[in-house]
Structure 1
Amino acid sequence: MSKIKVESLTKVFGKKPRRAMEMLSKGKTKQEILLQTGLTIGVDRANFEVENGEIFVIMGLSGSGKSTLVRLLNRLIEPTKGSVWLDGEDLAEMDAARLRKVRREKMSMVFQKFGLFPTRTVISNVEYGLEVQGMDKKTRCEKAQISLELVGLKGYEHRYPDQLSGGMQQRVGLARALANDPDVLLMDEAFSALDPLIRKDMQDELLDLQEKMQKTIIFITHDLDEALRIGDRIMIMKDGAIMQIGTPEDILTHPKNDYVARFVEDVDRSKVFTAGSVMIRPETVRMEKDGPRVALQRMRDAGISSIYVTKRNKEIVGFVHANEVSELIRLGNNRLDEVIHTDVPHVSEDTPINELMDQLSVSAVPLVVVKDNKLQGIIVRSAVLGALSGSEVDFNGFSTPSGAREMDGVLY
């Protein structure tokens, strides 16, 4: 079951919204409804689900409805129609007491404006939500201290907000949201007010925190680069309606409509595509059972001049060259391990392409993609260029460009 499920969620601003709802059902646009009724469509029949433990990014330009939507999720704004299910419980049906309990215990929110009390110390600011809940001083201080350590502010407990940089103030806001250990973290343009370098640091901080916490995070932004960098999935909105939901790679490679295509056309793909998305399937032989003759035959069949050697469990050992294997056979030597090259450059599946370009340009052999030292695939230059140009096609379950050619014994 999804952590959050949204069904037909709609918000119309203005009196007597029924007329606007009827016009929506007839296919009228947000602009047409505004001109004819004076009513504003904030969110237009949104349907989506958020999985437990994912960073789900909602993005769009100003007026797209993203900030309205996130406030509908915890009923800071009351919906005109529709439901928000949290762990199978409909927030729209909750009475005020139950809703307050859910907000205090299951959901926390981080805003663009830090909202810190200038006369309270850092730790007192972090404790505030727990104090409102009536938690005793000792317990809330301990929880606040843990949150401050999580966001890297240990030692700043007794400073005041005006003694901190913008990035540090936002960390205090994040620590305050984390202090009650919520299941869901709602972040509305949380890093938008920060300078670019500090903003990138905070994005890194959030990703590091998520590895430790595994919270469900709904992150609102108007910045596509930020969305692509931190989002497990992204939802793009326009005029209150959902345009597309998908992984960063899905949205870049398969935009659903012209609006999304225009939105992503200037994105630096090298920052989004990873080693895992451009690797191809390598030819291999098994260390335990395959000798020089098998290795040479496989290279002949594939039309390549080198082949990778693995153990039974796919653990990478190295690679061998055809000329060296042929020499072994000529000498009557069946010890393939005597000519294995073990200095294989390797990367992990989630390494962005832009971080491996230098390594790829100087390596005499393809980069090996490994997970727990087990061979997953290899990266060749043509596959990378194909992905960046958008010309990749499927190849035996891996990605490779059409028209790839052999060079130095492998597909390049």
Structure 2
Amino acid sequence: MKMMAAGRSKTEILKKTGSTVGVYQADFSVEAGEIFVIMGLSGSGKSTLIRLLNRLIEPTSGHIYLEGVDINAMDKQQLRAVRRHKMDMVFQNFGLLPNRTVQQNVEFGLEIRGVAAAERAQAAQKALAEMSLTPFADQYPEQLSGGMQQRVGLARALANDPDILLMDEAFSALDPLIRREMQDELIDLQANLQKTIIFITHDLNEALRIGDRIAVMRDGQIQQIGTGEEILTHPANDYVRTFTQDVDYTKVLTARNIMIPAVTINLAIDGPKMALRRMRHEETSMLIAIDKQRRLQGVITADGALSALKSGQPLIDYLRQDIPKIGPDTIANEIFNVIYAADTPVAVVDEQNKLLGVVIRGSVLEALADTESIAEATADPVAITSGSVTVKTGAHDNTTATPEKGV
């Protein structure tokens, strides 16, 4: 401990004392309802760190607070209550009991807690339904694929209804396609259940896909904490910069990042002359049609506006409703498939069909090209300090660009 306080390296301490420093100077906070990802290479200390949170590994020093109560100061009975009621863990190797059925495995934690048979069966059935495992309730783990076994492990944790889920490389043993499906299921589950999830991974693309915030570890120390975008665009040091240089940006950038403002026409108040004037002023041959609440209606083309003017009919009679639309969190490689065959911009809308912006081919290609020089263009790295982390919630700031001419 004295050598650590003096700033000696992990390697030097190991050489002189024979003791390995697992985790040190790890100061961070996790907000209720967020997915907090801890990532790093093998030996970085990430799995040790998550086991410190529920004291599967006893910390040498420091404090671990759960809702203001120091877990490190709890006696065995208090710690047992936290493990049974407050937090649950999902392991990489599934940890299923081979002599029990799927439903019996899911019930196991509740059985240990002494929950009545009827009540735990009901909770298990609900968890199995959430994980689409109901038809397999009477089968045994060996009858299931790896992905389905991991679903059982997650269902077992959900049946206990913990406030916090600790997931230690839970998807690492799965094939890439199954792994992607499990990531999707976790994101969907979180949208419905709003658990606090601490997720360990060595895969940066996985961290970027599911994490609200990410902590990057190296040799037992946290190198940087931030959102995926903050870590990609403002790496704290050379290690983080090297770690992120091979990221597949088509799996990271979303419509929210690359959309541009739409040139719009309000069908409730604007007519053909206004449409043609706006097209001429904005140097475009197409307008996105909205209503008074900015809900997407379709597209008005120059030909349509001119025909409406000549015929004296309202613009809505020439409205095209075949404009493709996507959500703001659609990732870039999924946008390619939508935009490839489209002869209009792709509208980005929220759940109420309110227009947020548009994506065009040029903005997609420009965004992907610009990612190579983002790090060089940002002069000041993010400062990392110990202590609590302040998180701003709400809408993301969107950097907008001038609409492409002639779109």
Q: Give the structure-1-normalised TM-score.
A: 0.86
CA contact (8 A) 1:66 1:220 kept: yes
> Within 1, Cα distance between the matches of 2:152 and 2:123?
13
Amino acid at match of 1:214: Q
The equivalent residue for 1:208 is 188
How many residues were matched structurally? 383
Question: Where does structure 1 differ by over 6 angstroms across 4 or more consecutive aligned residues?
Answer: none
CA contact (8 A) 1:382 1:400 kept: no
1:262-341 aligned at under 5 Å gives the runs 262-326=242-306, 328-329=308-309, 331=310, 333=312, 335-341=314-320
The equivalent residue for 1:70 is 50
Amino acid at match of 2:5: E
Structure 2: gaps of 5 or more residues:
378-396
Q: Deviations over 1:350-377 (max 9, x none)?
A: 1111112122122112111111211110
Q: Deviations over 1:88-141 (max 9, x none)?
A: 322123222222111100100011122222222322222222222222222222
Match of 2:335 among 328, 350, 356: 356
**Paired residue secondary structure (1:235):** strand
Task: Rate the CA distance shift 1:162–1:319 in 2: closer, same or farther, 3 A.
Answer: closer
Q: Deviations over 1:257-293 (max 9, x none)?
A: 2212221222211111111211001122222222233
**Paired residue secondary structure (2:298):** strand
Match of 1:165 among 141, 145, 150: 145
> Within 1, Cα distance between the matches of 2:177 and 2:304?
51
CA contact (8 A) 2:304 2:319 kept: no
CA contact (8 A) 2:187 2:210 kept: yes
| CA apart distance, 1:23 | 2.2
| CA apart distance, 1:253 | 2.9
Determine if the alignment matches structure 1 residue 154 to structure 2 residue 134: yes
CA contact (8 A) 1:121 1:157 kept: yes
**Paired residue secondary structure (1:80):** coil
> Within 2, Cα distance between the matches of 1:159 and 1:48?
42
Amino acid at match of 1:349: P
Match of 1:378 among 336, 358, 370: 358
Determine if the alignment matches structure 1 residue 34 to structure 2 residue 17: no
> Within 1, Cα distance between the matches of 2:157 and 2:94?
11
1:389-408 aligned at under 5 Å gives the runs 389=369, 390=371, 398-399=398-399, 406=405
The equivalent residue for 1:22 is 5
CA contact (8 A) 1:291 1:334 kept: no
Q: Deviations over 1:183-217 (max 9, x none)?
A: 11101111222233332332223223223322111
Match of 2:67 among 79, 87, 91: 87
CA contact (8 A) 1:59 1:227 kept: yes
The equivalent residue for 1:4 is none
Matched-pair identity in %: 54
The equivalent residue for 2:207 is 227
Amino acid at match of 2:368: L
CA contact (8 A) 1:383 1:400 kept: no
CA contact (8 A) 2:54 2:83 kept: yes
Q: Deviations over 1:319-372 (max 9, x none)?
A: 32345435655x483733333323211111111111121221221121111112
The equivalent residue for 2:382 is none
CA contact (8 A) 2:326 2:349 kept: yes
CA contact (8 A) 1:64 1:238 kept: yes
| CA apart distance, 1:405 | 5.0
Which structure ranks higher in relative contact order (CA pairs < 8 Å, sequence separation ≥ 6)? Answer: 2
Amino acid at match of 1:60: G
Task: Rate the CA distance shift 1:122–1:321 in 2: closer, same or farther, 3 A.
Answer: closer
| CA apart distance, 1:384 | 0.8
The equivalent residue for 1:248 is 228
> Within 2, Cα distance between the matches of 1:339 and 1:243?
56
Q: Give the structure-2-normalised TM-score.
A: 0.87
1:51-200 aligned at under 5 Å gives the runs 51-200=31-180
RMSD over aligned Cα atoms: 2.3
Match of 2:323 among 307, 331, 344: 344
CA contact (8 A) 1:281 1:398 kept: no
> Within 1, Cα distance between the matches of 2:300 and 2:203?
47
| CA apart distance, 1:378 | 0.4
